Structure 1
């Protein structure tokens, strides 16, 4: 499977329970630099830099960051990255308070530490379109896994960046719904799978699991299942 020219799966490695896995931030080329979709865990900037270098880019070429949501494995490195790249940051309005420190992250231990807050320059509401070299990239509201989770869709290539609204890390190269244990509002998240099923998708890039050939048919199958199945 290959991605369109101008789309780069950064596949940042990390370790969990003694196993090496990968998170999948995405860099998308535009006329004004790179859009980086999600930034990874705290301490990930060197790994992001290395992945961008392998793709032929410098960290300074990141002009915009779009967060799918505020969880620490997606937004934890934002403050450090912004200090180096001075990127314009966009996140859904319902995610922004958790990113910038006004609210404590929903799934974080309230007695523990949080990742460093960072400013959000643009609060998304859903339906926005970003211009890229590979065509329009649309913001799709997919709440449930977090209050203002968004996914991103490239209609010209029938390609979906699902964030955590869908995952592909079950070991079978198939799409699955969001992980229940990390999804506070499962009913709303299930409705969001239905929202994605309305798109014309051929392939899906998940933050957990990477690129899979599953698209609309598989997403519709997941949406049609009972919530607890």
Structure 2
């Protein structure tokens, strides 16, 4: 388990945990800012020990996290949040359409009725919102389909995309579209992929698969091939 430095102020934090009775490898991302650390996605329940190990290898502690951004409410992204918040007083941010699932007002759309401990949401993020970081401005992109309010994060200064589950990199190809079996609105999800293809992207961090040196051309090809199926 080792973090990858994807440029000044940004680190991927891949680790493998037990989730639903099987091993799952996930890739939260840590971004440094003048206010402290920004963590994009947490991981499922049981993720905190792995996060702590990564942070300490970078010279940080969990208490250095000031903001958690959730790309969406699925348990493999948000399940460990309640545990994390026992170790830090970080604010929690997500899209307004995701907030009710995280706070417990609604049950998660996936997971057979079981849910992780609900937590409060402090900030609601919408398309075009920007968070200043040491890696440059981090822009919120609405990329719904995989979930109602799924967001991706884009660094226009470096052309890096944090795709969440809007794209995946853990299959037979270096970069692919969202997984249909876990995507309730596949048509809308593919529209989101087409929207991403309008940006200048040089590299992508997928929550499932980590960093891939693929960009706009590959994303456009995914959208074009999917629209022709």
- Segments of structure 2 that go 5 or more residues without pairing to the other structure are none
- Mapped partners of 2:178, 2:135: distance in 1: 27
- Mapped partners of 2:62, 2:199: distance in 1: 32
Counterpart check, 1:209 vs 2:209: yes
Residue aligning to 1:145: 146
Question: Are the equivalent residues in 1 in contact too, given 2:126–2:141 (CA < 8 A)?
Answer: no
TM-score by length of 2: 0.94
Residue aligning to 1:169: 170
1:134-181 CA-partner distances (Å, limit 9, x unpaired): 110000000000000000001111100000000000144x11000000
- Mapped partners of 1:189, 1:159: distance in 2: 20
TM-score by length of 1: 0.94
- Mapped partners of 2:196, 2:97: distance in 1: 19
Tell me the secondary structure at the aligned position of residue 118 of structure 1.
Answer: coil
- Aligned match for 1:62, one of 60, 65, 85: 65
Residue aligning to 1:131: 132
Question: Are the equivalent residues in 2 in contact too, given 1:153–1:160 (CA < 8 A)?
Answer: yes
Residue aligning to 2:104: 101
- Mapped partners of 1:116, 1:15: distance in 2: 17
Counterpart check, 1:49 vs 2:82: no
- Mapped partners of 1:109, 1:15: distance in 2: 17
